[in-house]
Amino acid sequence: KQFLSQYREFLDSVAKPFGISARVIAALLRTESDFGEAPGEYVVANALYTAARITMDSLKRARELHELAALLRVMKTAGMDSLFALRGSWRGAFGFPQFRPTSYLAYGVDGNGDDVVDLFMFSDAVASASNYLRIHGWSPRYRDQRRALYAYNRGGYADAVLSYAARIAMD
């Protein structure tokens, strides 16, 4: 609630053009990285490579190797020169919204007009997460919201984010 209260105008200005409410983005950012306070400490390249090496499933291996190749494009785009520079989750997701490299390339949006998509900047993180949800069918209908959030992260994630957003609205 404190984050939403402090940043509501900013969240509205960035997320509303995508049709996403500030409270949903606040709930998503809280769930993913505690509003950027805990974006992850694992080396993303190592996480992706390890996931590809340890799986016995050839489709999963191919998916992780595809993510690793995408990471190289992300790093080139961002001007990073070290594979060890980018840190994130044990699954190879990074930034405040915890995007995997292919999601960064497909849905990343420059939210502050500096011609760079930096998911460790709130403006870009909010715009990118909002863009992801919009492209995955977000609408005012609860069913569409659940579907878009399920695309973002499987399991009970959609219900958790929507429940958290509803609780923020009530208090």
* DSSP characters over 96-121: TTTB-HHHHHHH---SSSSS---TTS
pLDDT digits (tens, 9 = 90+) for 20-73: 999 999 999 999 999 999 999 999 999 999 999 998 989 999 999 999 999 999
Percent of the chain scoring above 70 in pLDDT: 99
pLDDT digits (tens, 9 = 90+) for 119-148: 999 999 999 999 999 999 999 999 999 999
pLDDT for the residue 82: 87
Residue 109, CB-side half-sphere exposure with 13 Å CA sphere: 20
User: pLDDT band at residue 171, thresholds of 50, 70 and 90?
Assistant: low
Cα angle 132, 124, 77; round to 5: 90
pLDDT reading at 88 higher than 80: yes
pTM of the model: 0.92
Tell me the two tokens of residue 57.
């499933």
pLDDT for the residue 86: 93
CB 168 within 8 A of CB 4: yes
Q: Which residue has the tokens 């505690």?
A: 34
Tell me the two tokens of residue 31.
């769930």
CB 119 within 8 A of CB 87: no
Strand partners, 42: 88
